[in-house]
Amino acid sequence: MTAHLTPAALRAAAFSTFGLRGTLQGALDRMGFVQADPIRAPARAQDLTLMQRVRGYRAGDLEQLYPQLNAEEDMLPNYGFVPRQVQALLHPREPTQSRVERQYPELLAQVRALLRERGELHPREVSAALGSSRVMNAWGGQSSATTRALEALHYQGGARVTRRAGGVRLYAPAPHLQALREVPWPEEQRLRGAVHLLARLYGPLPEASLGYLISLSRFGFPHLHSTLRAVSRQIVREELHMAVVDGLRYVWLPEQQLEGASAPRGVRIVGPFDPLVWDRRRFTHLHGWTYRFEAYTPPAKRSMGYYALPVFQAERAVGWANLRVEAGGLQADFGFVPGVRQTAALRRGLEAELGRYEIFLGLGG
């Protein structure tokens, strides 16, 4: 138990994965997971996260360099990018039967055979070879059944994403995941690795938040049965540090030095899926206000905007920004938390950060 741990120390320590240093591969290895999202406002979530952690990063670098990186697209627990040593924690999976498997029982086997025959495949090629039946997707719309079959195979470890063409995922067989199915890592080793990874990425974080992340079935542990739940609790209690701050029990890895952590300088505008923001329980406790991601909220009910990006000054979240590219330039609308003084230092910091965004987005020459 750490004595006299304060919210200020927790806020400063939350920046442990932050900073303009190292390479893209180094950032992926250090973080272990970068969440992805297709919305560009003004760039995709993965690019917004990496621009804050890789010197000279430009929007689209991850997609362009992905085939040369030690990286795979996978779920942890949301969709994103992981190094292969992290992906080994996630497989083999034992997922429930997907909708496309229930509607078209033979389709996955047909898609798997086509992958073996042709190697890399665009979803359009699969539809052309096997037909263009439709199936309901997770958002209530209709998707190509063959595309959904590719996605199901990818989730199960029967395929991998090789690259993207115009933003569309291309797939190929995944022999390294088949090898894990045949000779998997010990279940407790996988669970321990997952606990440590999540604690490093999102920590320091409330113990309840870490428990929620561990419990999600995407780790491939069948429903995280009672034995594994007990093991995960034991790992947290015996291998992580913890302290109660304002009634919340926080946990973090021993190598994370919380006391004396220095607060970052300047102003940063970060994405809604950044580890700084992802855990809303922690965000509300440490910053004193509730951030809302409202892209899927009806416009009339939005309070912050379509894709509000939290604004940090030093280690405090002081407001949010909505950024958009119009006529070749970057436009910004800001909102601030009540009581925040819009000082000259804050204005200068925002101008500098918008300048960084313009370079990141390739605007202005």
Q: Where are the domains of the chain?
A: 99-182, 267-361
CA 110 – CA 246 distance, rounded (Å): 56
CB 65 within 8 A of CB 164: no
CB 153 within 8 A of CB 112: yes
The mean pLDDT of the chain is 90
Across 217-245, average pLDDT: 78
167: region left, alpha or beta (phi > 0 left; psi from -120 to 50 alpha): left
Q: Which of 278, 271, 152 is CA-nearest to residue 212?
A: 278
In this prediction, residue 96 carries a pLDDT of 72
CA 249 – CA 243 distance, rounded (Å): 6
Across 33-49, average pLDDT: 96
Residues linked to residue 135 through DSSP beta bridges, in sequence order: 143
pLDDT band of residue 221 (cuts 50, 70, 90) is: low
pTM of the shown model: 0.92
Q: What 8-state DSSP symbol labels residue 275?
A: T
CB 294 within 8 A of CB 305: yes
Which residue carries 């209690």 as its tokens?
A: 237
Which of the residue ranges 61-70, 92-101, 218-227 would you say has the lowest mean pLDDT?
A: 218-227
CA 287 – CA 249 distance, rounded (Å): 17
CA 204 – CA 256 distance, rounded (Å): 8
pLDDT band of residue 136 (cuts 50, 70, 90) is: very low
What does the block give as tokens for 137? 């997707």
Across 240-247, average pLDDT: 95
With a CB cutoff of 8 Å and minimum separation 6, the contacts of 215 are 224, 229
Does domain 99-182 fall under CATH 1.10.10.10? My reply is yes
CA-to-CA dists, residue 357 to 85, 164, 341, angstroms: 32, 24, 23
Give residue-wise pLDDT tens across range 276-302: 999 999 999 999 999 999 999 999 999
How far is C-alpha 162 from the chain's CA centre? 19
